[in-house]
């Protein structure tokens, strides 16, 4: 977590992260009704815990390189 992310989370009064050990699946395809295929990444805890973690959706019209 960057210092900026930490400070933004504190300012928004968000709870602390439950884990920082994450795994990622990149470029998962989702076909839209108009025929366009969107790509997404799935981030999830590397070690399974009790219950399901929340989902975070990030959208950017500029591509993945711009949102990282």
Of 9 and 64, the structure prediction assigns the larger pLDDT to 9
Q: What angle do CA 54, 37, 25 make, to 5 degrees?
A: 40
pLDDT of residue 54: 66
The dihedrals phi and psi of 7, each to the nearest 5 degrees, come to -65, -40
Q: What angle do CA 8, 52, 4 make, to 5 degrees?
A: 10
pLDDT digits (tens, 9 = 90+) for 29-54: 989 999 999 888 888 777 776 566 66
Q: Is the pTM of this model over 0.85?
A: no
pLDDT of residue 50: 54
Average pLDDT, rounded, for the chain: 78
Please list, residue by residue across 52-64, b when 16 or more beta carbons sit within 10 angstroms of its beta carbon and e when fewer do.
eeeeeeeeeeeee
């Amino acid at each position: 977590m960057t210092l900026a992310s930490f400070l933004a989370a504190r300012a928004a009064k968000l709870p602390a992260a439950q884990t920082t050990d994450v795994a990622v699946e990149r470029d998962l395809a989702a076909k839209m009704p108009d025929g366009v295929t969107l790509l997404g990444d799935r981030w999830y805890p590397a070690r399974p815990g009790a219950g399901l973690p929340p989902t975070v959706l990030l959208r950017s019209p500029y591509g993945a390189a711009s949102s990282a």
